Amino acid sequence: MKKYILVLGIALVVVLGAMAMAPTGDAQAEPKTYATMETTEIAHLSLGSGFTAYKTVQGSATDGVYLYVNFSAGDGKIIMGKFNLLSGQLVAHSQVMDLGHGNALTYDPYGMRLVATTKSDNNPAGYISPLVFIDPESLTIVGTQDIGRSAWGVCFDSLNKRYVVVSSAGTYWEYNSTFTTSRKVIDKTVLSGDALASFTGTDQDVGCDSSQIYIPHSPETGVTTNNWISVWTWPTTGSASYVTSYQLDTTDELEGISVRGDQLILAFNVGAKSWYGYGGPPTGTCGATGTG
């Protein structure tokens, strides 16, 4: 059940992921669910009547005051909207930017920058799409970062100053804050049982806090009609471990996820009726310091 309320008096940090990542293509059984997660709508998302072509919600993030959202009119055609986080009111928008699919954003409070993925469905084989740094004031690109592999999803753990980068469906890497070291933390190809089944549907962006990783999966035609969120422990060494999965109470396409305190911040793409809000909390799973 969606509850239509305006959330006041709290600062939420959002990374809203994006248009669908490449489907896994595996018709696996739906994962065991331990709870249904309710979603609460905060506001609808739109650039207004002058931008009717730009209505597909892609990656999003927040600095706690403003919500930054990528709107797509096709690969390479992205306009970023800047919204009041609590009311959803549009404050400013960028010019058209080439951010590829526009799949994911996160906010780095230390660099005071947005970090965006730029992988595109149209990239030629072997092309490595860089991460892009965007100034949250001017909404312009101010730098790039080549990490040696393309990225679909990204989130930032502000306590430990580390990123999770999704390089392909089912492959998740940890990077330090300067992108100089990395290690693989989730590899779908070596999973089995409930951990493997948690990748049912279409893999989306990724959220994280200081100890856990949250992976959203939206409905995939012929595979599942449900949105799932899988939860993984995220140690400082070694691989992440699967904990559980949650089924959402809406079939709207889940595009992105982030964490703030005991809440998951979610974004849904429904074209002209796209919206963002929060889900949960899933009991005892969300950390207190996540900014993913």
Instruction: Return all residues near 265 (Cβ < 8 A) that are at least 6 apart.
Output: 12, 13, 14, 15, 16, 62, 207, 257, 258, 259, 276, 277, 278, 279
- pTM for the model: 0.82
Is pLDDT at 284 greater than 80 in this prediction? Answer: no
Rounded Cα–Cα distance for residues 135 and 107 (Å) = 10
* φ, ψ of residue 228 in degrees (nearest 5): -125, 150
- pLDDT grade, residue 257 (50/70/90)? confident
Over range 68-83, report the average pLDDT: 89
Is pLDDT at 291 greater than 80 in this prediction? Answer: no
For 141-154, write each residue's pLDDT tens digit. 999 999 988 898 99
Strands 90-93 and 78-84: antiparallel
Q: What per-residue string of b and e applies to 159-177 under the rule 16 or more CB within 10 Å gives b?
A: ebebbbbbbebbbbbbbeb
Average pLDDT, the chain: 81
DSSP string, 190-223: G--HHHHHTT-SEE---EE-SSEEEEEEE-BTTT
User: Which amino acid would we find at residue 4?
Assistant: Y
pLDDT of residue 199: 87
Is pLDDT at 119 greater than 50 in this prediction? Answer: yes
pLDDT of residue 172: 95
Rounded Cα–Cα distance for residues 167 and 185 (Å) = 12
Over range 262-289, report the average pLDDT: 69
Is pLDDT at 133 greater than 90 in this prediction? Answer: yes
DSSP string, 157-184: ETTTTEEEEEEETTEEEEEETTS--EEE
Rounded Cα–Cα distance for residues 149 and 166 (Å) = 10
Q: Which domains does the chain have, with CATH numbers?
A: 3-279 (2.120.10)
- Highest mean pLDDT: which of 3-7, 216-220, 243-247? 243-247
- Tokens 């696996």 appear where? 28
